[in-house]
Amino acid sequence: MKKSLKKILSCILLFVVMAFTFSGNTFATTNSTSAMVQASSLSKISNNYPIVMVHGLFGWGNDELFGVNYWGGKESLKDLLTKKGYTVYTPTIGSISSNWDRACELYAYLKGGTVDYGYAHSIKAGHERFGRTYPGVYPEWGTTDAGDIKKIHLIGHSMGGQTIRVLAQLLENGDKDEINCNKDSTSPLFIGNKHWIDSILTVATPHDGSQEDSKQSNLGPFTHDLFSAMASNAGILNSDNPCFDFKMDQWGLKKQSDESYESYYKRVFNSNIWKETKDLSIWDLSQEGSKELNSWVKVQKDIYYFSIACVDTHKGLLTQYQIPNINMNPLLLKSSIFMGQYTNSNYGEVQVDKKWWRNDGIVSVISAIGPHEGSQDKIVSYDSNATTERGVWNYMGEINNIDHVEVVKQSEPRYHKYLQNKFIDLANMLTKLAK
């Protein structure tokens, strides 16, 4: 199973590189109703906390992939929002690490300091306890000013949505295993009682995992060969700049200064860690792994929760199956078709029926709405005319005719501005939440 999952992961990396490097001739039929926020007015809003945008699987930083932005593609969404007066951070964390490890990295990236994955966790996972050291982009996070805590708004795309949920869980509740086994040097992250997050917004997040599994993938060496060819054409292989950093230092998989990118890539994916641990993204993103995560990561009563799904499929004429829309990126077609008809009724496993079929090429709509499997979180429909409730999932609906990558890539001219304005509207909504 893990071997097949590794193949799937390798395939997704190939897709990400290709999808963000090349644009297809796609189109959309959506319209924008954006409310443009002026920078001068934001200073008067008391809930103008910094917005932290957290990338998903195979995400990257601003100095990677030759300046192609994860958030916005060729045009930085961070810069766009900054010009509107918002304070925005786009952290770089582990691209294939587990949500626990990514949450620890996110904490250190924002607050500053050396990443502490936890004594108990690192022993259980089998990797180093400490990771990279960051100066901190927002060291005052969590401090008080005139009695008010300096909080943040969190936006997560794809797996990033799971990661920010884990961060909230640890900040507010801590971790008993970490406290009990290492009381004198426990990271502040694991102590709890830190009400530092005002809102969480997830975009196309697989809260219940993805039904892509070993039944779907049979890729093998072809995936690596094709990725290597594409990476070479893009100037990634044999580059002095690693261009894509997996950030797997805790596993001893740091790129060496004299190591080619191809060698680094092979070393990561040939590592024994794929056979030996669940402390990786491939488990957290599976249906069973997501169910396990949902069982202990819960909504916090003082945080606003929002979710948005993307959908780029429709019901076929001859069957009830969901098939991709004409505008879907060709690299997503195979997974979308599979997801649009897959069912699973095996005893003891997550049950999959036709409610899972509508998808964005990677994530089912039902999974993006919010956590269901293993979760008792409450999910309601968001009403912009009503008072937004904390401690529940406010589902904001679907972004139609948009696939899983395009929602952040935003490269196609016919809906580029629509998606930009969508994020401006979301930022505006967050600043208007009651404190």
Please, what is the Cα angle at 42 between 36 and 48, to 5 degrees? 115
Q: Which of 153, 207, 404, 416 is catalytic?
A: 404
Whether 76 sits among the annotated catalytic residues: the reply is no
Of 175, 360, 377, 403, the catalytic one is 360
Task: Determine the straight-line distance between the first and last CA of the chain, rounded to whole angstroms.
Answer: 46
Q: Is 157 a known active-site residue?
A: no
For residue 180, count other CB atoms closer than 10 A to its CB. Answer: 10
Which residue do the tokens 């786009």 mark? Answer: 90
Out of 158, 217, 335, 336, the active site residue is 158
Name the strand (E) or helix (H) holding 379: strand 379-381
Residues 6+ positions from 335 with CB-CB distance below 8 Å: 212, 216, 361, 362
| Alpha-carbon distance values, 289 to 145, 279, 283 (Å) | 40, 10, 5
204: its two tokens:
């196309």
Phi-psi region of 158 (alpha: psi -120 to 50; beta: other; left: phi over 0): left
Q: How far is CA 146 from the centre of its chain?
A: 34
CB neighbours of residue 324 within 10 Å: 23
Catalytic: 314? no
Rounded to a whole number, what is the largest CA-CA distance in the chain? 65
Active-site residues, by number, are 158, 360, 404
